Amino acid sequence: MSASLCGRTIVVTGAGSGIGLGVLKAAQAAGATVVGIDYTEAAKEVIAGQGACAVSADVREPDALRAAIHEARDRTGRLDGVVNNAGLTLTAPFLEADVEMWDQLWLTNQRSVLIGCQTAAQIMVKDQTRGSLVNIASVHATASDHTYEAYAGTKGAIRAMGQSMAWSLGPHGIRVNTLSPGLTLTEAVAKAAKDPALDTLFQSWHADATVPKVEELAQVAVFLLSDQSVVLNGTEIVADKGTVARLCNVGG
């Protein structure tokens, strides 16, 4: 039986493209009313084009993100789940990386998740709603590479924060889980894969030699939002078709 989100309101940040847009579509297909948060007019048009509510906010701005989540609750009458998906990927040689880059990664990837979860949880507790928070991390939280030091740190923090939040919010009936994708076939990855050499490389990272699709990953997010995952709290699902399993066993 497919996971159902009928009668629920789900908020997705960074919903105008890539994984966020995939989650938005999948949640709608599962019966949810979805509010997409993004910060460009083009992104808002994409969200609205899917028949979802579009709210403008830069997740790096605490007041704007809080206001957007409250607006989602006010416009739909309830709040049952949030997918903190908005994120930024910046890399640089560690000896040359600067604080400005680190701050941008922290504000976008880590602090926005804290604020998004706290704001949503405050609303759910006040409304006495049993909810689900899903935070998008990355395989870099477990198996990373050079130049990714700051990025990997923010993604590892998401996993650690989720474990702690599970105990803070569990007594209120709110679950917090982490979804860590590997390489996913977003528009940018599909464009890069047109290069035969890169296509072969990407395939080699996956046990079945296929790159996970956005739609496939989005179904995992819907599962975590639904009652089918009621026993999962404070856990991480690594959705990478075996990438981390191989990297962690190289030379073993």
The pLDDT tens digits of the residues spanning 100-147 come to 999 999 999 999 999 999 999 999 999 999 999 999 999 989 889 899
pLDDT of residue 250: 56
Give the strand pairing for 81-84 and 9-13.
parallel
User: What's the CA angle centered on 130, arms 124 and 131, to 5 degrees?
Assistant: 75
Neighbours of 169 (CB within 10 A): 22
pTM: 0.95
Say which range, 1-15, 19-33, 166-180, 215-229, has the weakest mean pLDDT. 1-15
Mean pLDDT of the chain: 95
Give the mean pLDDT of 161-172.
98
pLDDT of residue 109: 97
pLDDT of residue 246: 80
The pLDDT tens digits of the residues spanning 11-70 come to 999 999 999 999 999 999 999 999 999 999 999 999 999 999 999 999 999 999 999 999
pLDDT band at 177 (very low <50, low <70, confident <90, very high): very high
CB contact set of 9 (below 8 Å; sequence gap of 6+): 32, 33, 34, 35, 72, 73, 76, 77, 78, 79, 80, 81
CB contact set of 50 (below 8 Å; sequence gap of 6+): 21, 24, 25, 28, 34, 36
Residue 244 has pLDDT above 80, yes or no: yes
Share of the chain above pLDDT 90, in %: 87
What gap in Å lies between CA 144 and CA 20, rounded to an integer?
22
Residue 252 has pLDDT above 50, yes or no: no
- Let me know: does 176 contact 225? Beta carbons within 8 Å: no
Share of the chain above pLDDT 70, in %: 98
Nearest CA-CA partner of 4 in 247, 236, 226: 226
Q: Please, how many CA atoms are within 13 Å of residue 202, restricted to the half-sphere of its CB?
A: 21
pLDDT of residue 131: 97
CATH of 9-184+214-238, one of 3.40.50.2000, 3.40.50.720, 3.10.20.30, 3.90.1170.50: 3.40.50.720
